[in-house]
Chains A and B, each alone.
Chain A
């Protein structure tokens, strides 16, 4: 660029006159038509004043004309990545002295296996162009590859794929954390601020817990092996405490922590030996490595990933304030439940007491007395009513009885008179009065109806109308004197 002379239209043309722009100059629609640019006002002495769009367009054309900028590879560190809703990626590439705006269209970005992230050094391939509305030049990225530091990223992805295929990152392998651990193992560097932060958080949230720190290197050569040894040391300590009959002194959860840093600083936590040590650890592991945006393979292998070391400590233990509030709520609920239970029991007890009272012999006796009293009252009433009905009947009958008796006496007297008359006409006295006599044997009083019944000499008793007298039968029976009219 420095070798090229600027087009003469870009220079003040002290003596230029409008409409005389040389042919071939790349000042589109300007020189001959002042209306497209800013016309030289009167008094400018012919100075050529350009429009902003003219300048931008000139820069654009200059960039487009430079073949070196049509196909460039640019290496730099990615900073401030923004993904639009349409899926386009916007970021800056920077080095120590400059930065370059980059745009990565959606199709190119989605087809790439590599994603631009803040802090990564990448090599971007694309072309330079000018975005006229913004007046900025930017790199239109077609592809991105990791550069230098990107080797680690490639190793990261490769190791992640390998270990994931082994199932070390499976969600089913994750263990749940104990709710209130009595002993917590911490694998970190005891000289760093991380250890202080973890201790402070644990003291603030759950001072009942004890912390067992297993020191290790957290960066540099040998850090990964040191981390694995620290995890194994915790396991051996826990086994020893359990075997010694003090399982309460064995850690039940382990925090693996480190402060923030670059990817190189955190690389120890991406080593396979650390991942396998975490997976083989006998206790649930909570990882708190780096900042929230830092992701390591240790995070994938851990049973729970915390964004920061302090957050890891917060996840491991409950907050004593929350626990106290929970206990207070439970106390209130328990008291309410007991009161409700007591009230319900009192009601039931009252029912049972009343039922039992009804079954008491005295109560049964009282009920029986009451029933018998009622029956007696009803019987008295019924008997009284019956007596009343009988009395009414008697009085009713007493009113008509004299008449009935008198009529009955008259009727019976008439019948008696008739019977007496019949008796007088048909009786033996009437026959005696007519001169007949009744002859009986004196011996036994038998009425003599046949002369044969009274042999001669037998004593007779004869009754006539006015009285009786004795006689003696004489003579023998005479058949001629016998009454032939009798059968």
Chain B
């Protein structure tokens, strides 16, 4: 039982870490996308 809990927690932490890492990798792309969106908004205005 304990082993299962530890395993679940470890998997959760690993998943969170992978998620954070993916988020950090994607953050620049998201930022660039938002930059383009904002430029589009500026031009449309």
Contacts and interface: CB of A to CB of B under 8 A. Distances in A.
A378 B34 CA distance: 7
A375 B34 contact: yes
Nearest to A379: B34
Contact of A379 (B23, B30, B41): B30
Contacts, number: 23
Interface in A364-411: 368, 371-372, 375, 378-379, 381-382, 385-386, 389
B27 interface: yes
A385 B37 contact: yes
Nearest to B37: A382
Contacts of B23: 372
A381 B41 CA distance: 10
Contacts of A368: 20, 24
A13 B27 CA distance: 140
A3 B44 CA distance: 144
A98 B30 CA distance: 120
Interface string B28-45: 001100100110010010
Contacts of A379: 30, 34
B27 A378 contact: no
A385 B37 CA distance: 9
B10 to A, nearest CB: 19
A256 to B, nearest CB: 86
Contacts of B27: 371-372, 375
Given A378-B31, A382-B41, 16 more contacts: A368-B20, A368-B24, A371-B27, A372-B23, A375-B27, A375-B30, A375-B31, A375-B34, A378-B34, A378-B38, A379-B30, A382-B34, A382-B37, A382-B38, A385-B37, A385-B41
Interface of A: 368, 371-372, 375, 378-379, 381-382, 385-386, 389
